[in-house]
Amino acid sequence: MPQSTLDRTPLLATPLRASMEFLSQMWSLLGLLTILQNVLPTQLLSLLHSLWQSLQDSLTPYSYFDVPEFLGSAAVEPNALYRHVQLYLHRSLLLSSPPPPRLTLSLPRSAASAAPAPPPSVSLSPNHSVADTFNGHRAVWTHHADTLQDSLEERRSFSLRLPKRHAAAVLPAYLAHLAAAADHLERSSRARRLHTNAASPRGAAAWASVPFCHPATFDTLALDPALKARLLADLTAFAEGRDFYRRTGRPWKRGYLLHGPPGSGKSSLIAAMANHLRYDVFDLELTRVATNADLRALLIQTTNRSLIVIEDIDCSLHLTGDRGLASERLHKRRKLHAAAYDDDDDSSDSDGGGADNHRGKVTLSGLLNFTDGLWSCCGEERIIVFTTNHVDGIDPALLRPGRMDVHVRLDACGAHAMRELVQRYVGVGDHEMLDAAEDSIRDGAEMTPAEVGEVLLRNRDEPETAVTELAAELKARRNAADDLQWEDSAAELSDGSPTKKGRKGMGWEGKVRMLGRLRSLTKSESGRR
Ligand SMILES: Nc1ncnc2c1ncn2[C@@H]1O[C@H](COP(=O)(O)OP(=O)(O)OP(=O)(O)O)[C@@H](O)[C@H]1O
């Protein structure tokens, strides 16, 4: 037993003694450094420091890249790359398993009060590192936070460590990969807003906004599958088209014209487009904009990645059009409704007459200047959407090729869209009444998606009734359409005037009925002669 005691003493004493010796040597070195610091001139010290740094740099097998949060000597300009790294690390930190030992979780108060509150964001804690692998190379990110001397201010930065031998080859591709991932994350996580121009004719033109949370998506939208696929492909190509637009020297924007009867889904499609692209929506009420200057002020306040929507473009009263048909139309309308225009009304004063008198009002050229003139290049990634119920009422200047890139006609519900709505609203996929409803649509019955939705909504607890009622309504409309066509055809036959509607779309039952009625009409005509 004593042997073991004796044996144990040197075992314990040796490392202790070694540590003590090491500490005392370090202490002496520190003392020497302090003395040198006081004795040596500052210039010599900084020279020694940089020599030491260079020696370290030449010996280390790594290259280091600093990414400060702010740029410039005053450090006031935000560094976009810092934001990219933050977002990129956020994503990779969430995916990494096991996660780094220390992370910072945060949820701003404004976000916490939203319903539902978003999940807290995760970031790398200051002075901690996380490793990433790219194309087989190991990259290590460290988050630095240094408090400035004599100040509470904190300077934050990331540093990236890459193997020195591969750094030059890896860095550009790695930064591009990082920017793309950050961009994707930003798109999918950012809270979006719906803006509208405030009604202040005399005040400065400004937008007011609320959170945008419209539930319509391309999944909930009942559309012809070919149209849906075309729209999705076009929107995706647009959103991913930064390089294309740069290469071709075109402003990164696109114009959509949506036209169709009320309830055909124009507003729903706009919401679905905004949700698909994760864009903000700027709903521009033109009748509230006093002048072209105000219009320009509003439009330059719109942000990138946004949909700028002007609904019912044909009804925007002051969009008087200083070219083409629009001014003519307004002039005619004014003549027709002369009594309705008060002479003292300043809209009447400044608009009446012709192109030169539109100064001080919003004109078509004022709008076009932003959609495809010089101002079109301010900002990036914007889609301008015009809607109308009457495409014929739109100034041809707006329809010229290259102006509105995509024209979308939304119409009465097709058979496919009707079935989709029925499935979604009442969960019925197969039913003889649905076949009958489909026949009626093929034979010319017209109901907008809003009308179909209305029938289904009021019977949503009774699917059988919903489908029967829908089929009956469509049949009634088909018969009404047949009657209308019969009247047209009869009129054509009796006075020879061509009718608007042809026989296209008339059901076989209708055709039989119409033939019978035409025969009796011809008989009575010949009897009279
Ligand atoms: N394609 C569709 N798929 C699903 N629901 C639709 C569709 N189109 C319209 N709806 C429904 O009809 C309602 C009205 O449609 P929406 O407001 O989009 O029509 P609109 O063409 O913009 O009408 P308006 O010209 O009167 O503004 C929507 O709330 C939506 O529920």
ipTM of the predicted structure?
Answer: 0.97
CB 295 within 8 A of CB 301: no
Higher per-residue pLDDT: 188 or 395: 395
Pick the range with the lowest mean pLDDT from 37-46, 173-182, 330-339. Answer: 330-339
- The residue whose C-alpha atom lies closest to atom 26 belonging to ligand 1 is 262
Q: What is the CA radius of gyration of the chain?
A: 36
* Cβ atoms 270, 185 nearer than 8 A: no
Ligand 1 within 6 A of CB of 265: yes
Q: Is 385 in the pocket of ligand 1 (CB under 6 A)?
A: no
More confident residue, 55 or 325: 55
What pLDDT, on a 0 to 100 scale, did the predictor assign at position 6?
39
Q: Residue 447 above 90 pLDDT?
A: yes
Does any ligand 1 atom lie closer than 6 A to the CB of residue 268? Answer: yes
Closest CA to 185 of 84, 44, 320, 54: 84
Please report the atom of ligand 1 found closest to the CA of residue 221.
3
pLDDT band (50, 70, 90) for residue 56:
confident
CATH label of the domain that carries residue 339:
3.40.50.300
Give yes or no: residues 216 and 324 share one domain. Answer: yes
The whole-number average pLDDT for the span 420-448 is 93
148 and 46 Cβ atoms separated by less than 8 Å: no
| Residue 511: pLDDT band with limits 50, 70, 90 | low
- For the stretch 460-474, pLDDT in tens is 999 999 999 999 999
Q: How far apart are CA 388 and CA 94, in angstroms?
A: 46
Residues 183 and 222 in one domain: no
**Cβ(449)–Cβ(417) under 8 Å?**
yes
Query: Measured in angstroms, how far is the CA atom of residue 410 from the centroid of ligand 1?
Result: 10
Q: 36 in a domain, yes or no?
A: no
Q: Would you say 174 and 262 are in contact if contact means Cβ atoms under 8 Å apart?
A: no
Identify which of 210, 195, 408 has the alpha carbon closest to the alpha carbon of residue 305. 195
User: Which residues have a Cβ under 8 Å from the Cβ of 237 and sit 6 or more positions away?
Assistant: none
Which amino acid is located at 306 in the chain? S
Mean pLDDT of 230-259: 92
101: in domain: yes
Residue 322 covered by a domain: yes
98 pLDDT more than 70: yes
- Domain end among 189, 223, 238: 189
Between these two residues, 96 and 243, which has the higher pLDDT value? 243
Mean pLDDT check: name the lowest of 193-207, 337-351, 416-430.
337-351
Strand bridging mode 103-106 / 406-409: unpaired
**Is residue 6, in this structure, part of any structural domain at all?**
no
Which residue from 381, 362, 359, 358 is spatially nearest to 310, judged by alpha carbons?
Answer: 362
Q: Is residue 8 part of a domain?
A: no
Whether 414 is in the pocket of ligand 1, judged by its Cβ within 6 Å, is no
| Atom 17 of ligand 1, nearest CA residue | 267
Q: Return the higher-pLDDT residue of 384 and 348.
A: 384
Structure confidence at residue 322 (pLDDT): 43
Of 185-199, 392-406, 498-512, which gets the smallest average pLDDT?
Answer: 498-512
Would the CB of 223 count as within 6 Å of ligand 1? yes
Helix (H, G, I), strand (E, B) or coil at 424: helix
Residue-wise pLDDT tens digits, 363-418: 887 888 777 766 666 678 899 999 999 888 888 888 877 778 899 999 999 999 99
Q: Distance of CA 45 to CAs 27, 32, 36, 57, 149, Å?
A: 20, 14, 9, 18, 20
Residue 186 tokens read as 């930003």
Closest residue CA from atom 8 of ligand 1: 265
pLDDT of residue 235: 96
Compute the distance from residue 301 Cα to the ligand 1 centre, in Å: 29
Q: What local confidence, expressed as pLDDT, does residue 41 receive?
A: 81
Q: Is the CB of 264 under 6 A from ligand 1?
A: yes
358 within domain boundaries:
yes
Tell which one of 217, 227, 268 to mutate to probe ligand 1, the residue whose CB is within 8 A of the most ligand atoms.
Answer: 268
The Cα 514–Cα 455 span in angstroms is 30
Identify the domain boundary among 156, 189, 222. 189
Is 450 a pocket residue for ligand 1 (Cβ < 6 Å)? yes
- Ligand 1 nearest atom to the CA of residue 260, by list position: 21
Residue nearest to atom 27 of ligand 1 (CA): 262
Q: Do both 219 and 354 map to the same domain?
A: yes
SS3 289: coil
How would residue 348 be classed by pLDDT, with cut points 50, 70 and 90? very low
Q: Does any ligand 1 atom lie closer than 6 A to the CB of residue 67? A: no
Is the shortest distance between the CB of 453 and ligand 1 below 6 Å? yes
231 and 288 part of one domain:
yes
Q: What confidence score (pLDDT) does residue 99 get?
A: 73
Mean of the pLDDT values across residues 157-161?
Answer: 94
Instruction: Answer yes or no: do 246 and 147 share one domain.
Output: no
Identify the pLDDT of residue 438.
Answer: 94
State how far Cα 116 lies from the chain centre: 21
Greater model confidence, 149 or 21: 21
- Same domain for 304 and 165, yes or no, is no
Does position 128 have pLDDT exceeding 50, yes or no? yes
Residues 494, 465, single domain; the answer is yes
- Say how many C-beta atoms besides its own lie within 10 A of residue 497's C-beta: 9
Residue 161 confidence class, pLDDT cut points 50, 70, 90: very high
Q: Residue 151 above 70 pLDDT?
A: no
SS (H, E, C) 125-168: CCCEEEEEEECCEEEEEEEEEEECCCCCCEEEEEEEEEEHHHHH
Residues 515 and 372 occupy one common structural domain? no
- Return the biggest CA–CA distance within the chain: 145
What is the pTM (predicted TM-score) of this model? 0.64
Q: Which domain holds residue 389?
A: 193-409
CA 494 to chain centre: 56
Q: Are residues 257 and 336 part of one domain? A: yes
- How many folded domains does the chain comprise? 3
Q: What is the pLDDT of residue 201?
A: 53
503: phi then psi, degrees, rounded to nearest 5: -90, 0
Q: How far apart are CA 436 and CA 242, in angstroms?
A: 48
Distance in Å, CA 267 to ligand 1 centroid: 6
Q: Does residue 266's CB lie within 6 angstroms of at least one atom of ligand 1?
A: yes
Give 130's strand partners.
Answer: 141
**Which of 393, 409, 425 corresponds to the end of one domain?**
409
If you measure from the C-alpha of residue 216 to the centroid of ligand 1, how many angstroms do you get, rounded to a whole number?
Answer: 10
- Whether 171 and 209 map to the same domain: the answer is no
Do 405 and 312 sit in the same domain of this protein? Answer: yes
* Contact by Cβ (8 Å): 388, 313: yes
Lowest-pLDDT choice from 38-52, 124-138, 165-179, 275-289: 38-52
Judge if the beta carbon of residue 267 lies within 6 A of ligand 1: yes
pLDDT at 525 over 90: no
Answer with the residue of higher pLDDT: 293 or 14.
293
With respect to residue 115, please indicate whether it lies within any of the assigned structural domains.
no
Read off φ and ψ for residue 287, nearest 5 degrees. -70, -15
| Res. 283: pLDDT tops 70 | yes
Average pLDDT, the chain: 78
More confident site: 298 or 57:
298
Atom of ligand 1 lying closest to residue 389 CA:
25
Contact yes or no for 265/274 (Cβ under 8 A): no
Using the structure block, give the residue that is written with the tokens 């093929």: 442
Tell me what percent of the residues of the chain surpass a pLDDT of 90: 34
Look at residue 38 and tell me if it is in a domain: no
Same-domain pairing of 403 and 359: yes
